[in-house]
Amino acid sequence: MKKIALFILALCLCFAAFGGTAFAETAAAETPAEKPAAEMTAEELYATGKAAKDAGDYAKALEYCRLAADLGYSEAIKEIGNLYYFGLGMEPDYEKAFEYYQKAADLGNLNAVNNLANCYLEGSGVEKNEEEAVKYFRMAAEQGNVAGQYNLGYVYLNGIGVSLDYGEAVKYYTLAADQGYAAALKMLGYCYEYGLGVEQDYARAFGYYQQAAGQGNSDAQHSVGLFYLNGTGVEQNDEEALKYIRMAAEQGDPEARTTLGYCYAEGRGVATDYVEAMKYFRLAAEQGSASAQYNIGYNYRYGKGVEQDYAKALEYFRLAAEQGYPAALFAVGDCYYLGQGVEKDPDKAAEYYRKALDAGYEPDKTDQAHMKEVSVEVSETGKSEKEPFRYIHDPRQNPNAMQDIVENPAAVYGFSPDPNSTRLGNYADYDWTDPAVVAEAKKNREEYHASMESMMDIVYKMRDEGASIEAIARAVSAERNRIRLAASENNPEELAKVRESNLKTYGNEEGPTPEDRYEKYGSWQMVLQRAFSPNLGMDAVCGLYDDYYDLYVELGLAEP
C-alpha cells in the first residue's frame, strides 16, 4: 500500500496569553454587570478588561487592566504586558511588555515568570540570554506552571541554554501533560514516535496524539490521521485518517491541507477528485507549504485537475525548490532536461539534480536515466558525487579552531562539534550532514557576528591607522559596554538595573573598564579576544571560517 511520509511536528514555545485557561493562575471571573469602575473589585476590573479584549476593544481592555493593576492584581499586570507584546490596539512594544511581565513576576505571577523567560530567549525587550531564559522557565515549572513545564521540555529537546537531554524533555512534557495540556501531550507523542528520551513506541505515540487531538490540537489531529493513513501504531483505516486530517485542515493547518489534497488525488478514504485536491493544495501553498507547492506543480505538469501548463508547473516547482524541497529540486532539473516551461539546459539540469540528491532525494530508474544523460552519477549513499567542501584557510591547521571540533567528511562544511568540547559539546548531537540544520545554525551565527559589527569596524579602522593593540583593546572594551547599555536604552527600568549591576560589580555604571579586563585576562591581546568571545570552531562547522579569518588574525588567533 502506498504510504505518505509523516510530517515533523512544529516545535514552538508557549506564551501565557490573555485569558488563556491553560495558563490562568486562578479561574477566570465572570464578566460583571456594568457598574461604575470605582465600585468594582480588582478581579471584576480584570474580567471587564478581558471581556473588552475578547470583543476587540483593546483600548477599554487596557483601561480596565490598568485599573486592576493599580490595585496590585498580578494577572492584570501580566495582561498589560501581553497587550504591549502582541501589539493589541497599539504598535508592539517589547520593552514595555518586559517591564510589566517583570512587575507581575515580582508579585509571584508564574505566567509572567514564563513570559519573562520567553523574552530572554527571543531577545524581546531585553538582551537575549538563553541561560537566563532557562532559569525563569525552571522557576515557573518547579512551581507547577504548565507553560513553564512545557517550555522547559522544549529547551531540553533542542539544547537551548542547556545540554541537549531528551530524557529531561520527556520529564517536563509529562508534567505538563499530566495537567492536561494538549501541546505537551502532542510532544510526548512526538518523542515516542521518534524514540527521543524513551523507547520508540508507535502505539503509545498514537495514544498521546489521540488525547491531544481530542482537545482540538490541529498538529495532533494531523498526526492521528497520518498514523491511520499509514497503519502506524494502529490498524490502517483510510476513512478514520480522512476524518482527522479534515479536522486539522478545517483549522487552517497547512500540512493537513496538503495531506487532504493528497487524499483526494489518490482516492484515500474519498473518491478521487483532482479538482478538489488542487483546492486544498492551493490553500496550503498560500500558507507557504513547500509540499503543497510541489503538488500543484506536479498537477500542472501532468494536467491533473487543471489544464496542462509546463510554465505554471515550473513556477510552483521553483517556489518549493527555494525552500529546499528535494522532489521539487529534482523536478526543476527535469524541466531543464526536458525543456518543459523553459529552454533545455543540460548544465542547469545537472545543477538541480545534484541539489536534489544532496537534499536527500531518492531517484527511480527513470530519474537515474535522465541524470546519466547530463553526467550526474549517484553514489551508494544516494548523494551526488561531488568534491567535498574545502576552506581557503584550512581550520585543521589552527589549534584554536580544532580544539572544539573534529573533521567529519560527511558534514556540510567538513567539520562537526567535538562531543568532548566544553564549549560545543552540546551541539554534537545535531545532524551536521543535514543542509537545513546547518543553514539554521549558520543564520544564528551570522546574527551573532552582526551584533559585533561596530566592534569589528573599530578594529579594522584603528589597525589601518597604526594603533597599538592596547589602544584597540581599550576602544573595543568601551564599545562593548556601549552595546550592552544600548540594548536597554528603550527600557528605563532595565537600563537602571544594568547600570546598578555595573556599579555594584565594577564600581561604575558603564561597565568594566579596560583596566578591569586587563587585570582579569593578563594581556591586552586577551582583553581584545575576550571582548569578542570568538569561537572559531563554530564558525568552521557553519561555513563561516573564511569569512571571519581576517578578524581571527587581528585577534591573534590565526596566522596572517
| pLDDT at residue 399 in the model | 86
Q: Of 108-112, 475-479, 494-498, give the range with the top mean pLDDT.
A: 108-112
Q: Which three cell numbers stand for residue 74?
A: 498580578
CATH classification for the domain delimited by 185-270, as one of 1.25.40.10, 3.30.390.30, 1.10.3720.10, 3.40.50.740: 1.25.40.10
pLDDT-derived band at 71, boundaries 50, 70, 90:
very high
3-state secondary structure of 374: coil
Share of the chain above pLDDT 70, in %: 91
**Cα pseudo-dihedral 91, 95, 101, 104, rounded to 10:** -100
- Give the span between the Cα atoms of 106 and 284, in whole angstroms: 43
pLDDT of residue 23: 32
What is the reported pLDDT for 497?
78
- In this structure, which amino acid lies at residue 199? E
Q: How far apart are CA 283 and CA 436, in angstroms?
A: 25
The residue behind cell 480596565 is 64
Per-residue model confidence (pLDDT) at position 231: 93
Question: Mean pLDDT for the chain?
Answer: 86
Cα 182 from chain centroid (whole Å): 20
CA distances from 262 to 108, 204, 257, 296, 525 (A): 49, 26, 9, 11, 61
Label residue 109 by pLDDT band (50, 70, 90): very high
- Which of 131, 136, 129, 95 lies closest to 113, judged by CA? 136
CA 465 from chain centre, in angstroms, equals 42
CB 43 within 8 A of CB 64: no
CA 35 to chain centroid, in Å, comes to 46
Q: Of 165-169, 507-511, 554-558, where does mean pLDDT reach its minimum?
A: 554-558
Q: Are 243 and 229 in contact (CB under 8 A)?
A: no
Q: How far, in Å, CA of 298 to CA of 274, rounded? A: 11
Q: Alpha helix locations (H) across 380-434?
A: 399-402
SS3 for 129-184 is CHHHHHHHHHHHHCCCCHHHHHHHHHHHHHCCCCCCCHHHHHHHHHHHHCCCCHHH
The pLDDT-based confidence of 387 (bands split at 50, 70, 90) is low
What was the pLDDT predicted at 3?
A: 33
> Three-state DSSP class for 243?
helix
Rounded Cα distance, 119 and 491, in Å: 13
Domain boundaries, the chain: 185-270, 288-386, 400-560
Average pLDDT estimate for 230-242: 94
Q: How far is CA 160 from CA 121, 138, 153, 197, in A?
A: 9, 13, 10, 16
Q: What is the pLDDT of residue 520?
A: 79
Q: How confident is the model at residue 527 (pLDDT cuts 50, 70, 90)?
A: confident
Q: Is the pLDDT of residue 25 over 80?
A: no
**pLDDT given at position 17:** 46
Residue with the bigger pLDDT between 393 and 315: it is 315
CB 270 within 8 A of CB 241: no
Domains 185-270 and 288-386 share a fold: yes
Confidence of residue 239 (pLDDT cuts 50, 70, 90): very high
Three cell numbers written together for 4: 505518505
d(CA 72, CA 204): 45
Q: How far apart are CA 261 and CA 250, in angstroms?
A: 13
138 Cβ contact list (under 8 Å, min separation 6) = 148, 152
* 221 contacts 194 by C-beta, under 8 angstroms: no
Cα distance between residue 472 and residue 112, in whole Å? 42
Per-residue H/E/C for 481-518: HHHHHHCCCCCHHHHHHHHHHHHHHHCCCCCCCHHHHH
C-alpha cell of residue 535: 569561537
Q: What whole-number distance in Å separates Cα of residue 309 and Cα of residue 312?
A: 5
Q: Assess whether pLDDT exceeds 60 at residue 335.
A: yes
Q: Give, in order, the Cα–Cα distances in Å from 108 to each of 15, 30, 103, 172, 202.
A: 17, 23, 9, 21, 40
Residue 32 confidence (pLDDT): 55
Q: How confident is the model at residue 301 (pLDDT cuts 50, 70, 90)?
A: very high
Q: Which of 50-64, 245-259, 334-348, 517-531 is predicted least confidently?
A: 517-531
Q: How far apart are CA 465 and CA 523, in angstroms?
A: 21
Element counts in the chain: helices (H) and strands (E): 28, 2
Among the listed ranges 204-208, 378-382, 453-457, 524-528, which one has the minimum average pLDDT value? 378-382
Q: Which residues contact 416 (CB under 8 A, 6 or more apart)?
A: 405, 406, 408, 428, 430, 432, 541
Can you give the pLDDT at residue 188? 97
Could you please state the CATH topology (level 3) that the domain comprising 288-386 is classified under.
1.25.40
- For 410-505, strand residue ranges (E) read 415-417
Residue whose C-alpha cell reads 549591576 in the numeric block: 501
208-212, 405-409, 479-483: range with highest mean pLDDT:
208-212
* Residue 33 reports pLDDT greater than 70: no
In tens, the pLDDT along 422-457 reads 778 778 888 898 887 888 888 878 877 776 777 778
pLDDT of residue 434: 84
pLDDT value, residue 344:
94
pLDDT digits (tens, 9 = 90+) for 121-162: 999 999 999 999 999 999 999 999 999 999 999 999 989 999
Per-residue model confidence (pLDDT) at position 34: 67
556 vs 386 pLDDT, higher one: 556
Alpha-helical runs (H) found in 36-93 = 42-54, 58-70, 74-86
- Amino acid 74 reads S
**Grid cell in block for residue 489:** 536604552
Grid cell 556599579 — which residue?
503
> Residue 7 has what pLDDT?
29
Give the sign of the dihedral formed by CA 26, CA 30, CA 33, CA 34: positive
**Per mean pLDDT, which range of 20-24, 92-96, 323-327 is the poorest?**
20-24
149 DSSP β-pair partners: none
Identify the H or E element spanning 99: helix 94-106
| Segment 306-317 mean pLDDT | 96
- Strand partners for 384: 378
| CA–CA gap between residue 212 and residue 173 (Å, rounded) | 13
Cα(467)–Cα(458) distance, integer angstroms: 11
Distances (CA, A) of 506 to 44, 144, 501, 523: 47, 37, 8, 19
Q: Residue 409's pLDDT is what?
A: 83
Give pLDDT, residue 556.
77
For the segment 459-468, the average pLDDT, to the nearest whole number, is 83
